[in-house]
């Protein structure tokens, strides 16, 4: 049974967003396995690796900053250039996705509408392209519920399975950045309305 604190935390780390999403059912060893999924698209895999390697090197950049500010400043400029290149790759990858759709995203899972039903307990490969950071993630998820909606679609809730620490941290960072952006926009709207 979850406590009120766990429920509050879950709500805090949950956002509604528009993202590019691709769903594939998993079966057999892929469904039960704990290994990181790989996509058939080399560009998407490259995009994922760019962000994971950037995340994994952040602690090194902090150490360099403590010792040599000039080198750290130069590395930050290089990192910015790599981010710009990853956005170019993301735009290419985005062309292969369907239109972005409304989802509810958290560190623990994702809820979305889909034209096909997937029974509770089944496993999916969920490919996410989160913009504007150009963050590409391919995650394994277990379907928690699937309910019919209007117009022949289904509301599907999932729980991510076997996330790496880097994947979890990247999701958390994206969610926190989106929440900060929403608060900033709301504050600007309130200030401009006065």
Per-residue model confidence as pLDDT tens for the chain (194 residues): 444 455 544 455 789 999 989 999 998 777 777 777 877 777 777 777 877 777 777 788 888 888 988 988 888 888 888 878 777 777 777 677 778 899 999 999 999 999 999 999 999 999 998 877 778 899 999 999 999 998 889 999 999 999 988 889 889 989 998 898 888 888 888 887 75
**CB-based contact 24:125 (threshold 8 Å):** yes
Residue 43 in domain:
yes
Residue 136 in domain:
yes
Per-residue pLDDT at 102: 94
Residue 63 in domain:
yes
Residue 30 in domain:
no
- Extract the tokens encoding 118: 């997937």
Residue 107 in domain:
yes
Nearest-angstrom CA–CA distance, 49 and 94: 16
Per-residue pLDDT at 9: 47
- H or E, element range at 110: strand 110-114
- Extract the tokens encoding 178: 């989106």
Per-residue pLDDT at 23: 92
Domain with 13 in it: 4-25+38-193
Per-residue pLDDT at 6: 52
Residue 74 in domain:
yes
**CB-based contact 156:146 (threshold 8 Å):** yes
User: For 152, which DSSP code?
Assistant: G
Assign residue 173 the CATH number of its domain.
Answer: 2.40.10.220
User: For 132, which DSSP code?
Assistant: T
Kindly report the pTM of this predicted structure. 0.76
Residue 32 in domain:
no
Residue 101 in domain:
yes
| Max intra-chain CA distance, the chain | 60
How many structural domains compose the chain?
A: 1
Q: Which residue from 7, 178, 11, 21 is spatially nearest to 103, judged by alpha carbons?
A: 21
């Amino acid at each position: 049974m979850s406590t009120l604190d766990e429920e509050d935390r879950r709500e805090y780390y949950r956002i509604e967003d528009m993202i590019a999403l691709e769903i594939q059912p998993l079966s057999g060893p892929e469904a039960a396995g704990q290994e990181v999924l790989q996509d058939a698209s080399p560009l998407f895999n490259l995009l994922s690796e760019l962000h994971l390697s950037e995340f994994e090197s952040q602690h090194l950049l902090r150490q360099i900053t403590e010792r040599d500010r000039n080198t750290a400043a130069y590395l930050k400029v290089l990192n910015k250039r790599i981010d710009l290149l990853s956005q170019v790759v993301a735009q290419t990858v985005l062309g292969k996705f369907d239109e972005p759709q409304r989802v509810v995203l958290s560190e623990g899972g994702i809820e979305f509408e889909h034209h096909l039903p997937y029974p509770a307990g089944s496993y999916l490969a969920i490919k996410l392209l989160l913009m504007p950071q150009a963050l590409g993630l391919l995650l394994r998820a277990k379907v928690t519920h699937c309910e019919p909606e209007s117009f022949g679609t289904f509301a599907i809730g999932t729980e991510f399975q076997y996330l790496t620490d880097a994947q979890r941290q990247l999701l958390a960072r994206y969610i926190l950045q989106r929440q900060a952006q929403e608060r900033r926009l709301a504050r600007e709207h309130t200030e401009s309305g006065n």
